[in-house]
Structure 1
Amino acid sequence: MVSFLALPAIFTPSFSLFSRASFPAPPSSLFHNRLGRFGVRSSYAETRLDEDSNSAAIDVVADVKTERVVVLGGSGFVGSAICKAAVSNGIEAISVSRTGRPAYPGSWVDQVSWIPGDVFYLNWDEVLGGATAVVSTIGGFGSEEQMQRINGEANVVAVNAAKEFGVPKFILISVHDYNLPSFLLSSAYFTGKRKAESEVLSKYPNSGVVLRPGFIYGKRRVDGLEIPLDLVGQPLERILSATQNLTKPLSSLPASDLLLAPPVSVDDVALAVINAITDDDFFGIFTIEQIKEAAEKVRA
């Protein structure tokens, strides 16, 4: 049985998607400015003198459009944080997940379009119309076959759909390898994730983003209960970050990062995604420390 909800603490939380989804494309008259959150285009007609009224008439047309991101697994722990950060930064957010709208508190929830859907059966042209970025948090545990399908194939399907429909950027939430020995990295959980990474970097060589966080902490909701992972993650992050220079010699030991890799706040992951959406110079594979640096750029 595959678990699409909480992953163990050392892995990136992710979600699979079920059923069919649809969302109308935005008006074609709108345009997109990739370097900012919105753009304004004005066209000025030739000023002409009205012979009767002696008044000047100026025709001004202004079109404004925010970024539009589709978050696969958007109702989950990481996905919902990304949706919330998108709304807070003036970005239109559409979530596609197996559960649709979650029972999260906050006015931001009403500003997200929650769509139940399965990446293997989505009507992509109705979901991706007008999207400027797709973010995938898809993943899960189970048998080798199940993990290869969810962590690998589902993401590959999403990447190719986004590319086919001309979405400019794809962002994948992957996982840190923890310096694990090769026999553990041969698990379908990791091979599936790396297969997805390869697809992103192949189809989007100059705009694809792969984030590799370790343990992600924050206030996580499971079956209506709030699990305060930050009570463990936040102090652990501070300790490991402060002692990083001392523990660095140990980083070459197999599986050392299971103990030494600093946790990452779910808010940092979400803000790193926002940076990826709005900054065309942000692409490639990003480590734990680089994720935190990207988040700080958005906060600044």
Structure 2
Amino acid sequence: MASSFSNIGAICKLPSAPSISSISRALFPTTLCSYRHSRISRPRSRRLCIRSSYAGAVRENPNSDAIDVVADVKTERIVVIGGSGFVGSAICKAAVSRGIEVISLSRSGRPSYSGSWVDQVTWMTGDVFYANWDELLVGVTAVVSTLGGFGSDEQMQKINGEANVVVVNAAKDYGIPKFILISVHDYNLPSFLLQSGYFKGKRRAESEVLSKFPSSGVVLRPAFIYGKRKVNGVEIPLDLIGEPVEKLLRATESFIKPLNSLPASDLVLAPPVSVDDVAYAVINAIKDDDCFGIFTIEQIKEAAAGVKV
């Protein structure tokens, strides 16, 4: 699919139908062009040394009358838009596990399920069109948007496009250093399908991220995302489908590669992506100040692998 963006430089480079209603909603979480990326780095832990005359926990310095106070400090504070959803909750959980302060904004607020990490997230109920950004964005180092949905053409353009644009511009206005968007694989669908509200909305959102955050905006473009998804209290084990399919496609990659040129072939041949890989790729983007650009399926997996180890 043609893109309005040309490749830009970075510190390091990475290898950069039927109607929408008839395609399974689980297939798409988002689209655009190939981009060049910065390096993928492993997460960093930071410690702050403070010279002080008093502290509850201190380490004495034999060479000085002063006291060295060594404290672990949370260096990142993020807002996850849609944090109570399938992908959003995985991102919140992964961020908490890495010592990142997390605020979630979603229409449903705090999720119904439990977990030790749930209590460590600040859950806020609200709509991005009416959000109190003064309350949400002060002191934030990154905003992550998982917004996306299906419906009428108008509804899809609003939630996939307009809603994300509102968040991007709010983040820009408040001087947030980084913006991360969960988008969708660039499917090789016929052009008339790519003009639907779903894809047009996603393209508009990506365009906004890359124009407002040209050197710090990150767009992740997974295909089908699998994991244990909870809907109305019922757990749907998408991993029972996605994981075997991913392994099969990888095992037969050399044989099916010639089929990739066929129209709409990657509806079937694009490898599924674990929700954990998406979450850890987000963590990589948060931790690495030089990380930016559009990440394809393989680049998402590579970014996640760098954080997992």
- Shorter-chain TM-score: what band? 0.7 to 0.9
Cα displacement string for residues 233-284 of structure 1 (whole angstroms, at most 9, x for unaligned residues) = 1000000112122211111111000110010000000000000100122210
CA distance in 2, matches of 1:299, 1:153: 34
Q: Greater relative contact order (Cα 8 A, min sep 6): structure 1 or 2?
A: 2
Contact 2:158 2:201 in 1 (8 A): yes
Cα displacement string for residues 35-72 of structure 1 (whole angstroms, at most 9, x for unaligned residues) = 83434153589xxxxxxxxx963265667333111000
Matched, 1:166 2:183: no
Matched, 1:57 2:65: yes
Q: Which amino acid aligns with 2:29?
A: T
Greater than 6 Å deviation, 4+ residue runs: none
- Compute the displacement of 1:163 (Å): 0.9
CA distance in 2, matches of 1:221, 1:181: 32
Q: Which amino acid aligns with 2:144?
A: V
Determine the structure 2 residue equivalent to 1:188. Answer: 197
Determine the structure 2 residue equivalent to 1:31. Answer: none
CA distance in 1, matches of 2:173, 2:115: 35
Residue among 47, 60, 78 paired with 1:69: 78
Determine the structure 2 residue equivalent to 1:266. Answer: 275
State, as a whole percentage, how many aligned pairs show the same letter.
72
Determine the structure 2 residue equivalent to 1:216. Answer: 225
Contact 1:71 1:93 in 2 (8 A): yes
Describe the shift of the 1:41–1:142 C-alpha distance in structure 2 as closer, same or farther (beyond 3 A): same
Contact 2:29 2:149 in 1 (8 A): no
Contact 1:268 1:291 in 2 (8 A): yes
- Where does 1:77-88 land on structure 2 (aligned, <5 Å)? 77-88=86-97
Q: Which amino acid aligns with 2:66?
A: I
Which secondary structure state, in structure 2, belongs to the residue aligned with residue 120 of structure 1? helix
| Alignment RMSD | 1.9
Contact 1:70 1:135 in 2 (8 A): yes
Q: Which amino acid aligns with 1:40?
A: L
CA distance in 2, matches of 1:60, 1:203: 41
Contact 1:156 1:199 in 2 (8 A): yes
Determine the structure 2 residue equivalent to 1:9. Answer: 26
Contact 1:72 1:135 in 2 (8 A): yes
Residue among 269, 289, 293 paired with 2:298: 289
- Where does 1:240-255 land on structure 2 (aligned, <5 Å)? 240-255=249-264
Which secondary structure state, in structure 2, belongs to the residue aligned with residue 182 of structure 1? coil
Matched, 1:203 2:209: no
Cα displacement string for residues 79-104 of structure 1 (whole angstroms, at most 9, x for unaligned residues) = 00000000111111111000000012
Count the aligned residue pairs.
264
Contact 2:81 2:145 in 1 (8 A): yes
Contact 1:217 1:233 in 2 (8 A): yes
Normalised by the length of structure 1, the TM-score is 0.84
Contact 2:82 2:145 in 1 (8 A): yes
Contact 1:37 1:91 in 2 (8 A): no
Q: Which amino acid aligns with 2:27?
A: I
Determine the structure 1 residue equivalent to 2:165. Answer: 156
CA distance in 1, matches of 2:116, 2:174: 31
- Compute the displacement of 1:179 (Å): 1.0
* Structure 1: gaps spanning 5 or more residues: 1-6, 14-34, 46-54
Between 1:142-151 and 1:73-82, the stretch displaced more is 142-151
- Where does 1:130-141 land on structure 2 (aligned, <5 Å)? 130-141=139-150
Cα displacement string for residues 18-50 of structure 1 (whole angstroms, at most 9, x for unaligned residues) = xxxxxxxxxxxxxxxxx83434153589xxxxx
CA distance in 2, matches of 1:67, 1:256: 40
Which secondary structure state, in structure 2, belongs to the residue aligned with residue 57 of structure 1? coil
CA distance in 1, matches of 2:159, 2:45: 32
Which secondary structure state, in structure 2, belongs to the residue aligned with residue 71 of structure 1? strand
Q: Which amino acid aligns with 1:145?
A: E
Determine the structure 1 residue equivalent to 2:99. Answer: 90
CA distance in 1, matches of 2:224, 2:156: 19
CA distance in 2, matches of 1:175, 1:283: 16
